[in-house]
Structure 1
């Protein structure tokens, strides 16, 4: 309820904001604005500051899922490659049309694909609603034709699934139901992409889920807090990998079916596994331990303060219990931009 009221208040501010910096004629804006990036997702796209409750509510994960700034996360690094402005966190914007035209980050740490257990956390559908209502607002402010041109040229980046799988693995024993659960997540993500397409979005990037069976949280919990397991959890990775394959298949199908759209899947799972399996090739020394996150009295704690971080984050694969370091994100961004091996059916530079 509080989240809904906050959003309505923001919409009120937006619709009443001064738009003097945008040339509006009787039929809309004379010159369409340049493209921007709009981001939806979880801790893979948000450092924890995009929350209507100001980060007061966190589960036993990280309050700082990145090294102090969203600019170290994959979508922002990609925006730089694309020469697009950095996105503004949705809940910290001032309601001006200029901020919206510069791109927004609807993502929120600990968001999930399915409806969360607590009202304090966001879901894919909540973020989709915010994005679609923002598109409607642009159509009102700029005129439908100009707004649609802007939306057509902008990139919408989606990255969900970490918290869905983390909660599932923590609360359920694995088995065939893990694959059933992954199938449900894939269908929800696929429906989300179709909703964006129906609202004139034509450039969509969907990121997969990293190998959570190799992430510090899974390794620590499996060990009972008595040190870190050396081997990844294959049963966890099999389910996550299944999700990624199914989602990529659906994305590829939509890219073929929707002739006027580009829908791309970025396989961060296999890329991170490459860093884990061949660390020396990339200057990485530690593939198991979190740079920021600890075990105390047998209990796992995420990155609750950046002061607890290691000195050499660039030598780690994992920043916190389940998110990569800025160095790994930088490598992912470079590959996503130029190499068709990470993002398929083509690298992201072909979106422009």
Structure 2
């Protein structure tokens, strides 16, 4: 449920209309997910899962640590540039205006399950993010000239989501409030996540979303936080990848079913896992020199977030990992470029095709 404070924010919003330019390929970009897509929402929540200090943002505009869990831009930033839109601002930072060009609801440490991320403090789980988008649509209704104009705006907007990694990390670390390893087999746990995800996608559709891109869960068994703790430095822990594969294998069917059942919708599956895994085991193929170690100096022998204000590596664009959990801007650029141009990566339509539909 949305807290009253979030609703109050809307009561003082001033909706700023921004006219579409000829270079805009879509009217807006709406972003949902976890720390892979968070652009600063967690800065305004009582949580230790934050990235609002250097060296985070060391390669971002003006070297500013905005709350992005990387050294520079994320996938949504590159997508926004492709669409001819400004970066979607974090929802919780907006106080005096609501841009028509989109918002970012993603929240670090959260997941599909409401329990995920709780040990770190408050975050916005996926259900809460969709509820905040519901509030956004209610505000938009007051300012569009008709429901038809609003529907057209939402139907042409792009919605991108990356969620689920933290649910698996929480399961492996035993930080969920219920023992999932006892209550659910790997297949049952994946089915639980898929069902909850599908329900939220249907909510987004009912609110007006039509063009939705969902990124697979990446090879989390390859992140330094796991490989180093398991004394497999530089190598992926395969059983973690196999657990994630149950979810990734169920995802395409669920998205295809939604596209078939929900009139006028297009659900796109982004194959982030295979590209991410290939880049880990074949880094030179992607212009990388290091696919094992964090670029920043991270807490606990390189198994956590960046230690504040310490100088990172000098060649971040040749590193796969920024800290022990998150990727560098170079990797996010790779994922975004493939989704924009490659219909075998984002299928059945890449973003170039999706915006024309």
Under TM normalisation by the shorter chain, which class is it? 0.7 to 0.9
Provide closer, same or farther for how the CA distance between residues 38 and 165 of structure 1 changes in structure 2, counting only shifts above 3 A.
same
SS state of the match for residue 310, structure 2? Answer: helix
SS state of the match for residue 88, structure 1? Answer: coil
Q: Tell me the distance in 2 between the aligned counterparts of 1:333 and 1:272.
A: 12
Contact 2:45–2:122 at 8 Å: present in 1 too?
A: no
Aligned to 1:57: 47
Q: In the alignment, does 2:214 pair up with 1:206? A: yes
Indicate which of 8, 13, 31 corresponds to 1:39.
31
Give the number of equivalent residue pairs. 329
Contact 1:113–1:189 at 8 Å: present in 2 too?
A: yes
Contact 1:62–1:321 at 8 Å: present in 2 too?
A: no
SS state of the match for residue 213, structure 2? Answer: strand
Aligned to 1:104: 103
Aligned to 1:229: 233
SS state of the match for residue 104, structure 1? Answer: coil
Q: Please list every run of 5 or more consecutive structure 1 residues that lacks an aligned counterpart in the other structure.
A: 24-32
Note the alpha carbon deviations across 1:124-175, whole angstroms, 9 max, x for none.
1100100012112111221322211111111111111122111111117969
SS state of the match for residue 250, structure 2? Answer: helix
Provide closer, same or farther for how the CA distance between residues 34 and 269 of structure 1 changes in structure 2, counting only shifts above 3 A.
closer
Indicate which of 317, 337, 346 corresponds to 2:340.
337
Which has the larger displacement, 258-267 or 66-75? 66-75
Contact 1:293–1:321 at 8 Å: present in 2 too?
A: no
Contact 1:36–1:85 at 8 Å: present in 2 too?
A: no
Aligned to 2:61: none
Contact 2:112–2:197 at 8 Å: present in 1 too?
A: yes
Q: Tell me the distance in 2 between the aligned counterparts of 1:138 and 1:83.
A: 21
Q: Tell me the distance in 2 between the aligned counterparts of 1:215 and 1:174.
A: 21
Contact 2:297–2:312 at 8 Å: present in 1 too?
A: yes
Provide closer, same or farther for how the CA distance between residues 34 and 290 of structure 1 changes in structure 2, counting only shifts above 3 A.
closer
Note the alpha carbon deviations across 1:320-347, whole angstroms, 9 max, x for none.
2222110011111111101012111121
Indicate which of 125, 128, 133 corresponds to 2:127.
125
Could you state the TM-score of these two structures normalised by the residue count of structure 1?
Answer: 0.85
Aligned to 1:242: 246
Contact 2:18–2:101 at 8 Å: present in 1 too?
A: no
Contact 1:63–1:304 at 8 Å: present in 2 too?
A: no
Note the alpha carbon deviations across 1:221-275, whole angstroms, 9 max, x for none.
223xxxx523211110011122112112211222233341111011111111121
Aligned to 2:62: none
Aligned to 2:224: 216
Provide closer, same or farther for how the CA distance between residues 182 and 79 of structure 1 changes in structure 2, counting only shifts above 3 A.
same
Note the alpha carbon deviations across 1:94-128, whole angstroms, 9 max, x for none.
3424x2x0210011111211113366122111001
Q: Runs of 4 or more off by more than 4 Å in structure 1? A: 61-66, 172-176
Kindly report which structure 2 residues correspond to 1:22-37, keeping only aligned pairs within 5 A, or say none: 35-37=27-29
Q: Give 1:63 deviation, angstroms.
A: 6.1
Which has the larger displacement, 320-329 or 125-134? 320-329
RMSD value over aligned CA atoms?
2.7
Kindly report which structure 2 residues correspond to 1:131-146, keeping only aligned pairs within 5 A, or say none: 131-142=133-144, 143-146=146-149
Provide closer, same or farther for how the CA distance between residues 319 and 199 of structure 1 changes in structure 2, counting only shifts above 3 A.
same
SS state of the match for residue 167, structure 2? Answer: helix
SS state of the match for residue 85, structure 2? Answer: coil
SS state of the match for residue 105, structure 1? Answer: coil
Provide closer, same or farther for how the CA distance between residues 18 and 166 of structure 1 changes in structure 2, counting only shifts above 3 A.
closer
Q: Tell me the distance in 1 between the aligned counterparts of 2:323 and 2:210.
A: 34
Contact 1:110–1:121 at 8 Å: present in 2 too?
A: yes
Kindly report which structure 2 residues correspond to 1:69-218, keeping only aligned pairs within 5 A, or say none: 69=66, 70=68, 72-97=73-98, 99=99, 101-116=100-115, 117=118, 120-142=122-144, 143-171=146-174, 177-218=185-226
Aligned to 2:8: 9
Provide closer, same or farther for how the CA distance between residues 62 and 179 of structure 1 changes in structure 2, counting only shifts above 3 A.
farther
Q: Tell me the distance in 2 between the aligned counterparts of 1:220 and 1:287.
A: 13
